[in-house]
Amino acid sequence: MMTVKDLFQLSLTKNFSVVAGYNALHKKIISVGILDFEFTEGIQPMREAAFEPHSLVLSSLLFANQKSELLIETIKELIKLKVSALAYKPVIYEDLPDELLQFANEQDFPILRFGGDEYFEEVIFEVMTYIKSRENDLFLQKNHAVSNRR
């Protein structure tokens, strides 16, 4: 298992910063998804399974370019889907609106800001490698404990 806080142990994401939801860094992450155009006006409503519960969602927030009001609605939807955290690349929004940060803090929803020019694919790979490694370690520990009892 991985938590939001564990992201800061990875070489690629160690320079991410927490901009909201400091009190919820204990939330677990079991998968990673990319938020691209799911919340763009005119696009069909997002399907229920767009993001798995306990996922880290990565986004450039391009869908909210010139439409910052979409940001709070997006966070509400992500919370409904039980997403653990949002990490955004500061290309459209260098800083997020104060009301969004306040809402995320009130909801204990972590929002992280990319630290540099990390690629989504690299973040996904590194996070999933960490998760798989932890799962393998846990499996080996359980097997070792069972074999020691014999």
CATH number at residue 114: 3.40.1390.20
What range defines the domain where residue 37 resides? 2-149
- Say how far apart CA 74 and CA 82 lie, in whole Å: 12
Instruction: Give the separation between CA 144 and CA 150, rounded to whole angstroms.
Output: 10
Structure pTM? 0.85
Instruction: Give how many domains the chain has, as a whole number.
Output: 1
pLDDT (tens digit per residue) in 63-74: 899 889 999 999
pLDDT tier at 114, thresholds 50, 70, 90? very high
Confidence at residue 18, expressed as pLDDT on a 0 to 100 scale: 98
Cα–Cα distances (Å) from 130 to 39, 82, 135, in that order, read 29, 21, 9
Q: Both tokens of residue 64? A: 């909210």
Q: What percent of the chain has pLDDT over 90?
A: 71
Tokens 């104060």 sit at which residue? 98
Report the candidate in 91, 125, 90 with the shortest Cα–Cα distance to residue 111: 90
